[in-house]
A = this chain, B = another copy of it.
Amino acid sequence: MKPILVFQTDFTYMEGAVAAMYGVVKSVDPSLEIIDATHEIPQYDTWSASFRLNQYIRFWPKGTIFVSVVDPGVGTSRRACVALTNDGYYIVTPDNGTLTHVKNSVGIKEVRMIDETINRLKRDDNKAVAIFHGRDLFGYCAARLASGIISYEEVGSTYPVDEIVTHEIKEAEVLDDEIKGIFEINDPNFGNLWTNISLDDFSRLFKHGDKIKVVIKHKGQVIFNEILPYFASFGMADQGSVMIYNNELNNIALAKVMGNLCKSYDLSYGEDYEVSFRKVENNE
C-alpha cells in the first residue's frame, strides 16, 4: 500500500489553488490517497504551520508523507526540502521554520533539498511559473515520492540537519510554588489558549480540583489576575466560567467553558504574553 499524502496550507478553499495542486498529484498517480489536514493555517504563519504539524503527525501511520505549504518566501533562496523524522514520517515543505516543533520533539533524521531539475512539474508550454510551488514543486515531488517513482534519496542532496531553519521555542520555568510560561498558540475555533507548560511539570505542583492563582501579563503589564480551578474536562465547570485543563497534547491550557476566552478577555498567543500559575495561600 502506498503512503497517504496529508496536506496543510494557508490557501483556503476560496479559489482553485488546492484543486490544481491535487490535480497534479492525481496526474502523477491516480491511485494516491489525498487527505486534507487543513488549508486554513493563518496566512504566512510558519509558526502555526510548525505547531499544527506537530499536533497531529504522531497519530498517522509510519511512512505517511506530509506536505506543508505556508510559504511567504516563495521564489526566493529559501530551500525546498523533504525531511525524514526520527520516527519515520516524511515532511515536504519550504525550509522556513515549519519544521521547528517536530525537530524539537522527535527530531529530524535526515533532510534533502528538492532537486528542481527532476522533481518540478514541466509545463507543456515550457513557461516558468515562479509563484505556485505548492502545485509545481511540493505537491508534484511528494506525489512522485509516494508513488515510488523516486526514492527518498532521489529527492535531492542531503544537507546538515542543523542548518534547518527554526523558530525559537521557549521553555516553561518551574519554580518551587509557581510555573511560568507563554501561550504558544490558541484554539481559534473555541477560543482556548494553550501554554508551553507540560502536564508533567504542572503535576509536580498541582492536581485536579486545585484552585490556582493565574496571572497573565501582556508586555509586562498584568491584564488578568484570577483564581481558577483545574479540571479534567469542560463538563465539570460552570457554563461561562474560566478553567485550567490538560489539553489534547498534554500541555496546560485555559478555556472559557461554552464560551471564547480569547474574545472575552481580548487575549492572544505569542511572546508578548506571559502566564504564571501559583499555589493559592490560605488567606487568598
Contact = CB atoms under 8 A, between A and B. Distances in A.
Nearest to A121: B59
Contact of A18 (B10, B38, B72, B232): B38
| Central interface residue in A18, A23, A246, by most chain B CB within 10 Å | A23
A270 to B, nearest CB: 16
Q: A6, A39, A131, A188: which has the most chain B beta carbons within 10 Å?
A: A131
A199 B38 contact: no
Nearest to A29: B61
A130 B56 CA distance: 17
Contacts of A22: 35
B233 A55 contact: no
A189 B234 contact: no
Interface string A172-207: 000000000000000111100000000100000000
A258 B44 contact: yes
A125 to B, nearest CB: 8
Contacts of A6: 19, 23
Contacts of A36: 13, 18-19
B35 A16 contact: no
Given A131-B245, A235-B75, A246-B130, A16 B37 contact: yes
Contacts of A151: none
A27 B59 contact: yes
A30 interface: yes
A108 interface: no
Contact of A60 (B8, B18, B27, B250): B27
16 contacts: A1-B30, A6-B19, A15-B38, A15-B189, A16-B51, A18-B38, A23-B57, A23-B58, A72-B234, A72-B258, A73-B235, A127-B250, A129-B246, A129-B248, A131-B245, A135-B248
